[in-house]
Structure 1
Protein backbone atom coordinates (compact mmCIF):
# COMPACT_ATOMS: atom_id res chain seq x y z
CA UNK A 1 0.00 0.00 0.00
CA UNK A 2 1.32 3.41 -0.84
CA UNK A 3 1.27 6.53 1.28
CA UNK A 4 -1.90 7.76 -0.42
CA UNK A 5 -3.65 4.51 0.65
CA UNK A 6 -3.99 3.23 -2.90
CA UNK A 7 -3.44 -0.46 -3.44
CA UNK A 8 -2.43 -2.15 -6.66
CA UNK A 9 -2.70 -5.90 -7.03
CA UNK A 10 -0.16 -5.75 -9.86
CA UNK A 11 2.39 -3.95 -7.68
CA UNK A 12 1.71 -6.34 -4.80
CA UNK A 13 2.25 -9.35 -7.09
CA UNK A 14 5.54 -7.88 -8.31
CA UNK A 15 6.63 -7.29 -4.72
CA UNK A 16 5.67 -10.83 -3.73
CA UNK A 17 7.56 -12.39 -6.62
CA UNK A 18 10.62 -10.29 -5.76
CA UNK A 19 10.47 -11.52 -2.15
CA UNK A 20 9.70 -15.15 -3.05
CA UNK A 21 11.15 -15.98 -6.48
CA UNK A 22 10.21 -19.66 -6.17
CA UNK A 23 6.55 -18.66 -6.46
CA UNK A 24 7.33 -17.64 -10.04
CA UNK A 25 7.40 -21.35 -10.91
CA UNK A 26 3.63 -21.55 -10.43
CA UNK A 27 2.13 -21.01 -13.91
CA UNK A 28 -1.13 -19.62 -12.46
CA UNK A 29 0.73 -16.96 -10.49
CA UNK A 30 2.98 -16.14 -13.42
CA UNK A 31 -0.05 -15.69 -15.70
CA UNK A 32 -1.67 -13.43 -13.13
CA UNK A 33 1.48 -11.33 -12.77
CA UNK A 34 1.96 -10.97 -16.51
CA UNK A 35 -1.65 -10.03 -17.27
CA UNK A 36 -2.07 -6.64 -18.94
CA UNK A 37 -4.84 -5.52 -16.59
CA UNK A 38 -4.57 -5.48 -12.82
CA UNK A 39 -6.03 -8.72 -11.45
CA UNK A 40 -9.11 -8.57 -9.26
CA UNK A 41 -9.11 -9.49 -5.57
CA UNK A 42 -10.95 -12.72 -6.40
CA UNK A 43 -8.37 -13.67 -9.05
CA UNK A 44 -5.56 -13.07 -6.56
CA UNK A 45 -7.36 -15.05 -3.85
CA UNK A 46 -7.98 -17.96 -6.20
CA UNK A 47 -4.28 -18.24 -7.01
CA UNK A 48 -2.79 -17.44 -3.60
CA UNK A 49 -5.15 -19.38 -1.28
CA UNK A 50 -3.05 -22.54 -1.33
CA UNK A 51 0.40 -20.96 -1.18
CA UNK A 52 -0.90 -18.93 1.77
CA UNK A 53 -0.98 -22.20 3.74
CA UNK A 54 2.71 -22.89 3.04
CA UNK A 55 4.79 -21.90 6.09
CA UNK A 56 7.36 -20.20 3.89
CA UNK A 57 4.82 -18.00 2.12
CA UNK A 58 2.17 -17.05 4.69
CA UNK A 59 3.91 -13.90 5.95
CA UNK A 60 5.01 -12.58 2.54
CA UNK A 61 1.56 -13.15 1.03
CA UNK A 62 -0.34 -11.54 3.88
CA UNK A 63 2.23 -8.74 4.08
CA UNK A 64 2.04 -7.91 0.39
CA UNK A 65 -1.75 -8.27 0.21
CA UNK A 66 -2.82 -6.94 3.60
CA UNK A 67 -5.90 -5.13 2.21
CA UNK A 68 -6.99 -8.44 0.66
CA UNK A 69 -6.28 -10.56 3.75
CA UNK A 70 -9.97 -11.24 4.50
CA UNK A 71 -10.59 -12.45 0.95
CA UNK A 72 -7.42 -14.57 0.94
CA UNK A 73 -8.21 -16.24 4.26
CA UNK A 74 -11.82 -16.85 3.27
CA UNK A 75 -10.68 -18.59 0.08
CA UNK A 76 -8.10 -20.66 1.96
CA UNK A 77 -10.65 -21.71 4.57
CA UNK A 78 -13.09 -22.66 1.80
CA UNK A 79 -10.41 -24.95 0.36
CA UNK A 80 -9.92 -26.51 3.77
CA UNK A 81 -13.68 -26.96 4.27
CA UNK A 82 -13.86 -29.03 1.08
CA UNK A 83 -11.03 -31.21 2.43
CA UNK A 84 -12.46 -31.40 5.98
CA UNK A 85 -12.97 -35.18 6.24
CA UNK A 86 -9.39 -35.84 5.12
CA UNK A 87 -7.98 -33.42 7.69
CA UNK A 88 -8.78 -35.87 10.46
CA UNK A 89 -6.60 -38.64 9.05
CA UNK A 90 -2.84 -38.90 8.91
CA UNK A 91 -1.80 -42.23 7.49
CA UNK A 92 1.87 -41.35 7.16
CA UNK A 93 4.56 -41.08 9.77
CA UNK A 94 5.73 -37.69 10.98
CA UNK A 95 9.00 -38.16 9.09
CA UNK A 96 7.38 -37.94 5.67
CA UNK A 97 8.47 -35.21 3.32
CA UNK A 98 7.29 -31.66 3.74
CA UNK A 99 6.17 -29.29 1.01
CA UNK A 100 9.20 -27.68 -0.56
CA UNK A 101 9.68 -24.14 -1.73
CA UNK A 102 8.25 -24.93 -5.15
CA UNK A 103 5.21 -26.83 -3.85
CA UNK A 104 2.56 -24.14 -3.99
CA UNK A 105 -0.45 -26.45 -4.11
CA UNK A 106 -0.24 -27.24 -0.42
CA UNK A 107 -3.68 -28.80 0.02
CA UNK A 108 -3.13 -31.14 -2.89
CA UNK A 109 0.43 -31.96 -1.73
CA UNK A 110 -0.55 -33.12 1.75
CA UNK A 111 -3.88 -34.76 0.92
CA UNK A 112 -2.35 -36.81 -1.90
CA UNK A 113 0.12 -38.19 0.65
CA UNK A 114 -2.54 -38.94 3.26
CA UNK A 115 -1.23 -36.25 5.61
CA UNK A 116 -4.42 -34.43 6.52
CA UNK A 117 -3.38 -33.75 10.11
CA UNK A 118 -0.18 -32.09 8.95
CA UNK A 119 -2.22 -29.91 6.61
CA UNK A 120 -4.46 -29.01 9.56
CA UNK A 121 -1.38 -28.02 11.59
CA UNK A 122 -0.10 -25.84 8.74
CA UNK A 123 -3.50 -24.20 8.35
CA UNK A 124 -3.53 -23.34 12.07
CA UNK A 125 -0.02 -21.92 11.78
CA UNK A 126 -0.98 -19.84 8.74
CA UNK A 127 -4.07 -18.48 10.48
CA UNK A 128 -2.15 -17.54 13.62
CA UNK A 129 0.51 -15.77 11.55
CA UNK A 130 -2.12 -13.92 9.53
CA UNK A 131 -3.92 -12.85 12.70
CA UNK A 132 -0.66 -11.52 14.08
CA UNK A 133 -0.26 -9.29 11.02
CA UNK A 134 -3.93 -8.37 10.75
CA UNK A 135 -5.68 -8.70 14.13
CA UNK A 136 -8.82 -7.09 12.69
CA UNK A 137 -9.46 -10.48 11.01
CA UNK A 138 -10.68 -11.87 14.33
CA UNK A 139 -14.03 -10.26 13.62
Structure 2
Protein backbone atom coordinates (compact mmCIF):
# COMPACT_ATOMS: atom_id res chain seq x y z
CA UNK A 1 0.00 0.00 0.00
CA UNK A 2 2.74 2.46 0.84
CA UNK A 3 5.12 3.51 -1.88
CA UNK A 4 7.81 1.25 -0.47
CA UNK A 5 5.33 -1.55 0.32
CA UNK A 6 5.99 -1.34 4.04
CA UNK A 7 2.44 -0.58 5.23
CA UNK A 8 0.75 -3.30 7.26
CA UNK A 9 -2.51 -2.95 9.12
CA UNK A 10 -1.00 -4.54 12.21
CA UNK A 11 1.86 -2.03 12.38
CA UNK A 12 -0.57 0.84 11.79
CA UNK A 13 -2.86 -0.32 14.60
CA UNK A 14 0.08 -0.68 16.98
CA UNK A 15 1.26 2.81 16.04
CA UNK A 16 -2.24 4.21 16.52
CA UNK A 17 -2.54 2.58 19.97
CA UNK A 18 0.88 3.96 20.91
CA UNK A 19 -0.36 7.47 20.00
CA UNK A 20 -3.71 6.94 21.74
CA UNK A 21 -3.02 4.69 24.73
CA UNK A 22 -6.50 5.25 26.18
CA UNK A 23 -7.81 2.98 23.40
CA UNK A 24 -5.63 0.00 24.36
CA UNK A 25 -8.56 -1.47 26.25
CA UNK A 26 -10.97 -1.11 23.32
CA UNK A 27 -12.18 -4.64 22.53
CA UNK A 28 -12.52 -4.12 18.76
CA UNK A 29 -8.99 -2.80 18.32
CA UNK A 30 -7.50 -5.43 20.63
CA UNK A 31 -9.36 -8.26 18.87
CA UNK A 32 -7.82 -7.22 15.54
CA UNK A 33 -4.35 -7.63 17.01
CA UNK A 34 -5.20 -11.04 18.45
CA UNK A 35 -6.05 -12.56 15.08
CA UNK A 36 -3.57 -15.18 13.96
CA UNK A 37 -3.85 -14.37 10.27
CA UNK A 38 -2.69 -11.07 8.78
CA UNK A 39 -5.14 -8.28 9.50
CA UNK A 40 -7.12 -7.34 6.42
CA UNK A 41 -7.69 -3.81 5.20
CA UNK A 42 -11.46 -4.43 5.28
CA UNK A 43 -11.37 -5.41 8.98
CA UNK A 44 -9.13 -2.48 9.82
CA UNK A 45 -11.33 0.04 7.99
CA UNK A 46 -14.44 -1.30 9.71
CA UNK A 47 -12.92 -0.74 13.16
CA UNK A 48 -11.04 2.51 12.53
CA UNK A 49 -13.99 4.25 10.85
CA UNK A 50 -15.80 4.47 14.21
CA UNK A 51 -13.36 6.78 16.00
CA UNK A 52 -12.54 8.86 12.90
CA UNK A 53 -15.12 11.55 13.77
CA UNK A 54 -13.86 11.87 17.34
CA UNK A 55 -11.90 15.16 17.47
CA UNK A 56 -9.12 13.51 19.43
CA UNK A 57 -8.57 10.65 16.98
CA UNK A 58 -9.01 12.12 13.49
CA UNK A 59 -5.42 13.30 13.10
CA UNK A 60 -3.79 10.18 14.57
CA UNK A 61 -5.91 8.01 12.27
CA UNK A 62 -4.89 10.05 9.23
CA UNK A 63 -1.25 9.77 10.25
CA UNK A 64 -1.23 6.07 11.03
CA UNK A 65 -3.51 4.83 8.26
CA UNK A 66 -2.61 7.22 5.46
CA UNK A 67 -2.40 4.54 2.71
CA UNK A 68 -5.98 3.43 3.45
CA UNK A 69 -7.49 6.74 4.60
CA UNK A 70 -9.60 7.03 1.45
CA UNK A 71 -11.27 3.71 2.32
CA UNK A 72 -11.76 4.86 5.90
CA UNK A 73 -13.47 8.05 4.74
CA UNK A 74 -15.72 6.09 2.40
CA UNK A 75 -16.78 3.91 5.32
CA UNK A 76 -17.46 6.96 7.51
CA UNK A 77 -19.56 8.57 4.78
CA UNK A 78 -21.48 5.29 4.37
CA UNK A 79 -22.23 5.28 8.10
CA UNK A 80 -23.30 8.94 8.04
CA UNK A 81 -25.69 8.23 5.17
CA UNK A 82 -27.39 5.62 7.33
CA UNK A 83 -28.13 8.30 9.96
CA UNK A 84 -30.61 10.04 7.69
CA UNK A 85 -31.56 13.67 8.15
CA UNK A 86 -29.50 15.85 10.45
CA UNK A 87 -32.47 18.15 11.06
CA UNK A 88 -33.75 16.56 14.27
CA UNK A 89 -31.99 17.94 17.30
CA UNK A 90 -32.72 17.49 20.96
CA UNK A 91 -33.11 20.75 22.87
CA UNK A 92 -31.13 19.27 25.74
CA UNK A 93 -27.40 19.78 25.82
CA UNK A 94 -26.26 16.59 27.45
CA UNK A 95 -22.94 14.97 27.93
CA UNK A 96 -20.17 15.10 25.36
CA UNK A 97 -18.37 12.06 24.08
CA UNK A 98 -15.49 10.81 26.22
CA UNK A 99 -11.98 9.96 25.08
CA UNK A 100 -12.54 6.22 25.49
CA UNK A 101 -15.80 6.12 23.51
CA UNK A 102 -15.03 5.57 19.84
CA UNK A 103 -18.57 5.08 18.52
CA UNK A 104 -19.19 8.74 17.75
CA UNK A 105 -22.10 8.26 15.35
CA UNK A 106 -23.98 5.93 17.67
CA UNK A 107 -23.28 8.18 20.67
CA UNK A 108 -24.85 11.31 19.16
CA UNK A 109 -27.66 9.57 17.26
CA UNK A 110 -28.87 7.85 20.46
CA UNK A 111 -28.91 11.22 22.20
CA UNK A 112 -30.72 12.87 19.28
CA UNK A 113 -27.88 15.34 18.81
CA UNK A 114 -27.45 14.99 15.09
CA UNK A 115 -26.38 18.61 14.59
CA UNK A 116 -23.42 18.02 16.92
CA UNK A 117 -22.60 14.92 14.88
CA UNK A 118 -22.76 17.05 11.72
CA UNK A 119 -20.35 19.57 13.27
CA UNK A 120 -17.90 16.81 14.22
CA UNK A 121 -18.12 15.32 10.72
CA UNK A 122 -17.36 18.73 9.16
CA UNK A 123 -14.38 19.20 11.48
CA UNK A 124 -13.03 15.72 10.74
CA UNK A 125 -13.40 16.09 6.97
CA UNK A 126 -11.76 19.54 7.02
CA UNK A 127 -8.84 18.10 8.92
CA UNK A 128 -8.65 15.17 6.52
CA UNK A 129 -8.57 17.44 3.47
CA UNK A 130 -5.96 19.67 5.06
CA UNK A 131 -3.66 16.77 5.91
CA UNK A 132 -4.40 14.61 2.88
CA UNK A 133 -5.37 16.88 -0.03
CA UNK A 134 -5.29 13.91 -2.41
CA UNK A 135 -8.66 12.97 -0.91
CA UNK A 136 -10.31 15.79 -2.90
CA UNK A 137 -10.24 13.66 -6.01
Query: Shorter-normalised TM-score: what interval?
Result: over 0.9
Q: Name the TM-score, length of structure 2 as normaliser.
A: 0.93
Query: What RMSD in Å do the two structures reach over aligned CA positions?
Result: 1.6
Tell me the SS of whatever aligns to 2:50: helix
Match of 1:68 in 2: 68
Q: Note closer, same or farther for the CA distance 1:45–1:2 as it changes in structure 2 (3 Å cut).
A: closer
Alignment partner for residue 108 of structure 1, among 99, 106, 114?
106
List 4+ stretches of structure 1 deviating above 2 A: 1-5
Distance 1:117 1:126 in 2: 14
In structure 1, stretches of 5+ residues that fail to align are none
- Give 1 or 2: higher helix fraction: 1
Q: Deviations over 1:85-130 (max 9, x none)?
A: 2x2221134x421111011111110011110000010011111111
Tell me the SS of whatever aligns to 1:127: helix
Distance 2:48 2:124 in 1: 13
Query: Is the CA contact 2:2–2:67 (under 8 Å) kept in the aligned structure 1?
Result: no
Q: Deviations over 1:53-86 (max 9, x none)?
A: 100000001110000011000000000000022x
In structure 2, stretches of 5+ residues that fail to align are none
Match of 1:28 in 2: 28
Tell me the SS of whatever aligns to 2:37: coil
Match of 2:78 in 1: 78
Q: Deviations over 1:12-61 (max 9, x none)?
A: 00000011012223211110122222211111111111100100000001
Distance 1:63 1:34 in 2: 23
Distance 2:4 2:45 in 1: 24
Match of 1:91 in 2: 90
Query: Is the CA contact 1:54–1:122 (under 8 Å) kept in the aligned structure 2?
Result: yes
Q: Name the TM-score, length of structure 1 as normaliser.
A: 0.91
